[in-house]
Amino acid sequence: MLWTYDAWDTSPPVLPRPTRLYSLTPIGVGTPMVESLTGYVVRLAEAHCVSAGLLYWKEIRTLTGKGNIFTFRVTNGNGYSTHTINGLGAPAADFVRVLERLTGQHNLRVLTLLPWAQVLPKAGLLRRARAWCERCVQAWHQANQPLYEPLLWTLQAVTVCPYHQRPLCHQCPHCACPLGPLDWRSRSAYCSRCAHTLVPHAVESVHTLPSHDLQWATWVANACGDLLAATAQMDCPPARDRLAHTIGRCIEHTSAGNASAFARLLQVGRGDVSRWQRGKAVPRFTLLLRMAYGLRTSLLDFLLGSPGAMAAGGVVRAAPVALPSPTHRQTAQAGRRRNGPEVSRILHAALTENPPPSVRAVLKRLGDAASTVRYHFPDLCRTIARQHAEHRARCATVRKAHAAEEVRRVAYQLHAKGLRLTRQHIRPLLTSSDYLNLPEGRAALREVRSQLGLEDKNGHAPAPHNWGHG
């Protein structure tokens, strides 16, 4: 009796092309919470058990042709602007090209705003510091889901979480420092300055926006989320001529075709509107949001020029938190929206906060004119400013002492292992790469070298002994 056996497939298996780095899959592609490219770099470094700075310095720096990108300072804006890696310019394109080559992943452009380069402005689009929703981070941590940085949180216009309707956090709750988008010690849901976790043990009550401001902020967050979710499904990037046509239709609906009246409505120059109509420039992102909101359409349809964008010819409604800079006369009127006792109560409440906020932060909450509040409440404003300055001075003192202690500890550890006490060896082991730039950090390193006999009191290496016979 003959038996029939299954045929064997002797063809060689198709193996994926080997890549230099792990082929890490991005999170949230096709959803409003798609991952940002800077967050992807951080997760890629964590997958290789190295810091983000070391991964960039060893693998990415040469291929991108860039130098030290970790010189950015959030406080003054100096240094390399790492937030542009998530944007729509050359830095984003370079990082996408290099990371696709190193990981073998395709279409990493959806982790940036590159697909919208023709219809979105470059200026005022991305915030320079990290922002996050405490409840989102806490929910991911409790559900054992990966912690990451969504691209939605990097948009400057997004001020609240669209799911929890709470203002985004901008400072570490432990050291009260703003965090850069990509630092040497960046970690998902961790502070890159003090290394404490950003996952709250219990979400405390925070300052909430008024109802009308919250409604506008939630609409903006949802509109931006829909825009990012549609990026992965786009066959081709939107063209600027379609946006110019949409703006022309918007002028017809709101100002009966009068471009000058439309410019006055948006408080911009007549020449700006003319350049928008000819496709030579694009409006600011806040103005795009206002126009889409006024036409009662989504931002996605407005930028794509979909027919639904002109379905309802409404009037461009004022958006309190997204209006461009008003004129002086309108500023004075805005400063009188709140009565004196209410402003005084808010200023007194700011004096009891910990950490103490700055005057600028308090005035931003009020939404009133800074000159008006400072004129009517000069003593309270000076007290708030003094408390904030004293808090910054205390934080600076603690940071300097911590820098000296950590540099000293790392230097002794390296010496015990037989390694030279150089900046190249010490810097990757520090919590902050800036510790060696502080005078206290450099003094601590010189002290350790002197105690170990590696240099004299003047900071010079000791002269070698002459062991020859004479």
Q: Around Cβ 101, how many Cβ atoms within 10 Å?
A: 13
Question: What was the pLDDT predicted at 335?
Answer: 39
Question: What does the alpha-carbon distance between residue 464 and residue 237 come to, in Å, rounded to a whole number?
Answer: 66
Arithmetic mean of pLDDT, 169-184: 90
Percent of the chain predicted with pLDDT > 70: 87
Question: What was the pLDDT predicted at 20?
Answer: 93
Question: What was the pLDDT predicted at 376?
Answer: 82
Arithmetic mean of pLDDT, 81-87: 93
CA 323 to chain centre: 22
Q: What residues contact residue 341 under an 8 Å CB cut-off, 6+ apart?
A: none
Question: What does the alpha-carbon distance between residue 53 and residue 430 come to, in Å, rounded to a whole number?
Answer: 12
Residue pair 188/149 in contact (Cβ under 8 Å)? The answer is yes
Q: Around Cβ 13, how many Cβ atoms within 10 Å?
A: 5
CATH 1.10.260.40 fits 238-310, yes or no: yes
Arithmetic mean of pLDDT, 92-112: 95
Residue ranges per domain, the chain? 37-211, 238-310, 330-391, 393-451
Average per-residue pLDDT in the chain?
Answer: 84
pLDDT over threshold 70, residue 108: yes
Question: What does the alpha-carbon distance between residue 445 and residue 422 come to, in Å, rounded to a whole number?
Answer: 9
Q: Which residue has the higher pLDDT, 304 or 468?
A: 304
pLDDT over threshold 50, residue 26: yes
| Angle, alpha carbons 165-171-175 (nearest 5°) | 140
Q: Which two tokens stand for residue 211?
A: 């109802």
Residue pair 138/203 in contact (Cβ under 8 Å)? The answer is yes
Residue (of 239, 268, 232, 235) closest to 251 by Cα position: 268
CA 237 to chain centre: 24
Question: What does the alpha-carbon distance between residue 81 and residue 99 come to, in Å, rounded to a whole number?
Answer: 19
Most confident of 113-127, 193-207, 236-250: 113-127
Residue pair 242/305 in contact (Cβ under 8 Å)? The answer is yes
415-419 contacts at long range (C-beta below 8 A, 24 or more positions apart): 415/448, 415/452
What confidence tier does 320 reach under pLDDT thresholds 50, 70, 90?
Answer: very low
pLDDT over threshold 80, residue 86: yes
pLDDT over threshold 60, residue 120: yes
What confidence tier does 321 reach under pLDDT thresholds 50, 70, 90?
Answer: very low
Question: What does the alpha-carbon distance between residue 329 and residue 409 come to, in Å, rounded to a whole number?
Answer: 58
CA 413 to chain centre: 35
3-state secondary structure the chain: CCCCCCCCCCCCCCCCCCCCCCCCCCCCCCCCCCECHHHHHHHHHHHCCCCHHHHHHHHHHHHHCCCCCCCCCCCCCCCCCHHHHHCCCHHHHHHHHHHHHHHCCCCHHHHCCHHHCCCCCCCCCECCCCCECHHHHHHHHHCCCCCCCEHHHHECCCCECCCCCCECECCCCCCCCCCCCCCCCCECCECCCCCCECCCCCCCCCCCCCHHHHHHHHHHHHHHHHHHHCHHHCCCCCCHHHHHHHHHHHHHHHHCCCHHHHHHHHCCCHHHHHHHHCCCCCCCHHHHHHHHHHCCCCHHHHHHCCHHHHCCCCCCCCCCCCCCCCCHHHHHHHCCCCCHHHHHHHHHHHHCCCCCCCHHHHHHHHCCCHHHHHHHCHHHHHHHHHHHHHHHHHHHHHHHHHHHHHHHHHHHHHHHCCCCCCHHHHHHHCCCCCHHHCHHHHHHHHHHHHHCCCCCCCCCCCCCCCCCCC
Summarised one tens digit per residue, pLDDT across range 286-314 is 999 988 888 888 899 999 887 554 444 44
Question: What was the pLDDT predicted at 327?
Answer: 34
Question: What was the pLDDT predicted at 316?
Answer: 45
Amino acid, single-letter form, for residue 403: A
Residue (of 142, 156, 135) closest to 84 by Cα position: 156
Residue pair 103/44 in contact (Cβ under 8 Å)? The answer is yes
Question: What was the pLDDT predicted at 205?
Answer: 55
Question: What does the alpha-carbon distance between residue 81 and residue 154 come to, in Å, rounded to a whole number?
Answer: 13
Question: What does the alpha-carbon distance between residue 44 and residue 52 come to, in Å, rounded to a whole number?
Answer: 8
Arithmetic mean of pLDDT, 384-392: 89
Residue (of 297, 289, 237, 31) closest to 151 by Cα position: 31
Summarised one tens digit per residue, pLDDT across range 365-383 is 776 556 678 778 888 888 9
Question: What does the alpha-carbon distance between residue 463 and residue 456 come to, in Å, rounded to a whole number?
Answer: 9
Most confident of 35-44, 167-176, 271-280, 444-453: 35-44
pLDDT over threshold 60, residue 172: yes
Q: What residues contact residue 348 under an 8 Å CB cut-off, 6+ apart?
A: 380
Question: What does the alpha-carbon distance between residue 389 and residue 395 come to, in Å, rounded to a whole number?
Answer: 10
